[in-house]
Amino acid sequence: MPKGASQNQIRNRLKQNANADGPRPPPQRFRRGGGGSGNRWWNAYHLADRLTPSSATLTKLFAGLFAVIALIFLVRFVTLKARTARLWTPVPLPTLVPQNGTSAELSPDLFWGTYRPQLIEDGLEPQIRHWCEQSDRLRYSWDAHDGRNFGSQSIRDEEFAITTEFVKRPKMGGKGGDWTARISTKLVGVNASDAKQRQRSPILSVMFYFLLPDSTLGHLRGQTVDEQFRLERIQGHTKELGEFQVNFRPRTSGPVRYTHLSTYAPREDLIKETVMHRMTGSPDGTIGLTGRSNMKIENLFVFQMTSMPEFQLEVSFESVSGLSDRQAAGGSLQGETFSREFSRHEAAFNRSLAQKFGATVANEKSSGFVRSALSNMLGGIGYFYGSSIVNSPETETTAAYWPAALFSATPSRSFFPRGFLWDEGFHNLLIGQFDPEISRDILAHWLDLMNVNGWIPREQILGFEAKAKVPDEFVVQPDTNANPPTLFLAVEQLLPYLTRDGAGKADKEFLRRLYPRLATWYAFFNTTQAGLLPGTYRWRGRDSNKVHQLNPLTLSSGLDDYPRASHPTDEERHLDLLCWMAMASRVMAQIGFAVDAPDWRKFSATWESLRAESHLDKYHWSEQLASYYDYGLHSERVRLERPQPPKLKPGQPPPQTPPKKIRRVDVEPRLGHVPGFGYVSLFPMLMRLLQPGSPRLGKILTDLADPKLLWTAYGLRSLSPQSSMYNRHNTEDDPPYWRGAIWINANYLAVTALRHYASQPGPHRETAAQLAERLRTAVFNNVMKEWDSTGFLWEQYEDRTGRGQRTHPFCGWTALAALLAVA
């Protein structure tokens, strides 16, 4: 064939040769080269046959290949689909909360409450106070709150002093009952008898709004009176509440202006914008509302009262079904009846405080502090409903969790007005001591948020109002990230109540349903957070690609920027997580024994295995540093450095901002223990793993009391000043967080652990008792001092001065100081 002949040309010539020479001989093995023309014919024939298989062979080949590829993609698709579905599938276990998600079925007393802690009920012209904001410079605090029946809140807004009070009657008619809120105002620093001073005093406008969300499928209608069209009453109906009415009773001795608004608000987070859009000025300089909006659907009613303090407004909610019960109780919850009921509940609250916290044995100031701390914890409880936005890095899927309710305390009304998983365990150490039933209800809601994998989203951003307070980058919750299982601490404290003699049916059923849920949660930690070696653990979620961070954050640990290994790897071993799992094993064994579970001994054996000193020493004790530490790939010589700006092209303007600092490593990392004595090093003691006679315990107690390490006059600092990371920024914009400041949750754990070892026979008993009392006194006195001078509980306290800093008011775990009031 000529050079460059095509495959078709070869095939045609072969056919011609075959026809000329007769039938083909039997196939022979192809031989390279050969002698005469016959050999050449066979060589060419076999070459073409191998180069161009028959069409049937090609079809079979491609069909088989396609089938294999399709099968691979199908298996992967089905696997990812199944894994993705597990992300938003609830664990198939009996729920702890009734299916409709209302708290009322667990406790009717909890149907109504101050369950929107992120809001402040206070209007000041021309600025509208709606959200709780740190920038407002307001001082607001619950003076008394029992979590159920009554509460009193003080708000100081410049020269205005505002008091909001409420009282409930939960059993009026079986539809949630009645409640009344009273708002009282007065001027501070103004002589009421001086007419000139009063004339110059500014006026105050208070708005009370009532919103009926679309989900209720209810309706509202208003009733006005007098020439000002004052809103006197709202009447309404929902399936859950039945028929009801809301009555407005203002009281004032001076000039007053009333306005109101009835309109439609699409969502609860748009209430402020909806109201401001319907405001209008008046000749006297005040701002009022425009009345009816003439919309077909009106789900938002606002009552406005504008006057010069002092004045008062009572707003009462009454269920029509509770008429006979109301008459039997002495009439509506208004005026003198309200005052009498408020005083009755307040007296009961004070007796309960004295009984459960020993507040009467301390001085008057400490009693006031305990009352305030507890009240603000209870007043910060919220009720939320919605879907978390969750993500599975494994399947690269972001989706909505199932719609769910959450009854939970909140760390801070101004900055963190939502549920946080590891915070909630600490919150319920206080709540559970005052009202175990409320604590049981909270734990039930949290544990019902568990998916089929045993995962619970660590930050609950449920509903439009909650989402409005969170930057977008923090909304999505990855399902690979855990959070310290502090709910086990709350359950351990609650266990004696749930197993007490005479425990009711609800308590026994709760405990029976609780055990398998906690076992599922435990299994999630034990598998997804396990280390490479048996009995070791590693927090997931650290990202070495975050080059602007001095030390990659460990947000899942709750300790955020606490220094870990400088280079995250799978070989890391985190001491605090091992201790959390040991504690969880101990609690699982206790609950399993209480409910006669067949596998409780397995958890008991795990507790003994993880707490064994030989196990702790093998993986976390450093002979060189003489303490317990994390283990990982680490370099101490790490710094932040600003990179050189890129060279500019001719005529190109310089950048307006310099490039951000990035992490530089001056000495290559090595596998080993991560130095830096701090809270993590205390965990074997904090979780009570160490035996009372252990020499390791004695060494920790010595180091704990060393002022050069953790001890201060105000409590234990989070990281020793001898650490290379002490008080260092993690990025150029992020100040230190867990790198020296004093945190009350860790100090509370330290005091209770020291008390535990003080109660056990052993060589360290006396030292533990002395340190427990010294630390209790230091922490309580400093937190109370800062509360007395600023009016706030703070997120953390500066280790050199004791000054409160960062978020305020922070009435979450800082309120645990109330449990340290008495020795």
Query: In angstroms, rounded to a whole number, what is the distance separating the alpha carbons of residues 31 and 223?
Result: 107
Q: Look-up: residue for tokens 């994390």?
A: 630
Query: In angstroms, rounded to a whole number, what is the distance separating the alpha carbons of residues 447 and 517?
Result: 7
What the block records as the tokens of 325 is 């019960």
Q: Which of 687, 678, 752, 676 is nearest to 717 (CA)?
A: 678
**DSSP output for 620-648:** HEETTTTEE--EEEE-S-EEEEPPPPPPP
Query: In angstroms, rounded to a whole number, what is the distance separating the alpha carbons of residues 234 and 247?
Result: 7
Task: Tell me the residue type at 101.
Answer: G
Q: Which of 486, 315, 400, 408 is nearest to 117 (CA)?
A: 408
Residue 620: CB atoms within 10 A of its CB come to 23
SS3 content of the chain, % helix, strand, coil (to 5): 40, 20, 40
How far from the centroid of its chain's Cα atoms is residue 164's Cα? 28
State yes or no: is 21 an active-site residue.
no
Query: In angstroms, rounded to a whole number, what is the distance separating the alpha carbons of residues 163 and 153?
Result: 6
Task: Check residue 200 and report its DSSP letter.
Answer: H
508 dihedral zone (left: phi>0; alpha: psi -120 to 50; beta): alpha
Residue 169: CB atoms within 10 A of its CB come to 22
SS3 (DSSP) at 93: coil
Query: In angstroms, rounded to a whole number, what is the distance separating the alpha carbons of residues 193 and 185?
Result: 17
| Catalytic position from the list 49, 143, 269, 560 | 560
How far from the centroid of its chain's Cα atoms is residue 222's Cα? 39
β-strand partners of 312: 184, 251
Query: In angstroms, rounded to a whole number, what is the distance separating the alpha carbons of residues 645 and 660?
Result: 10
* Helices (H) then strands (E): counts for the chain: 20, 31
Query: In angstroms, rounded to a whole number, what is the distance separating the alpha carbons of residues 679 and 434?
Result: 28
Strands 397-400 and 389-392: antiparallel
Where would I find the H helices in 52-188?
55-87
35 dihedral zone (left: phi>0; alpha: psi -120 to 50; beta): alpha
For the chain, the straight-line distance linking the first and the last C-alpha, in angstroms and rounded, comes to: 107
What the block records as the tokens of 584 is 């969880």
State yes or no: is 560 an active-site residue.
yes
In 195-354 the beta strands, taken as DSSP E runs, fall at 204-211, 219-225, 230-238, 242-252, 256-263, 279-281, 287-289, 291-292, 300-307, 311-319
Please give the radius of gyration of the chain, using alpha carbons only, rounded to the nearest integer.
Answer: 35
Strands 627-628 and 404-408: unpaired
Task: Check residue 393 and report its DSSP letter.
Answer: T
What the block records as the tokens of 561 is 């920027």
Residues 807, 346 contacting (CB under 8 angstroms) = no
C-alpha dihedral, 190 to 193 to 197 to 201, nearest 10°: 60
Query: In angstroms, rounded to a whole number, what is the distance separating the alpha carbons of residues 745 and 753?
Result: 12
Query: In angstroms, rounded to a whole number, what is the distance separating the alpha carbons of residues 78 and 695?
Result: 55
Residue 440: CB atoms within 10 A of its CB come to 25
Residue 256: CB atoms within 10 A of its CB come to 16
| Catalytic position from the list 122, 178, 435, 795 | 795
Residues 458, 411 contacting (CB under 8 angstroms) = no
The interaxial angle of helices 421-434 and 364-379, nearest 10 deg, is: 130
Active site residues: 560, 795
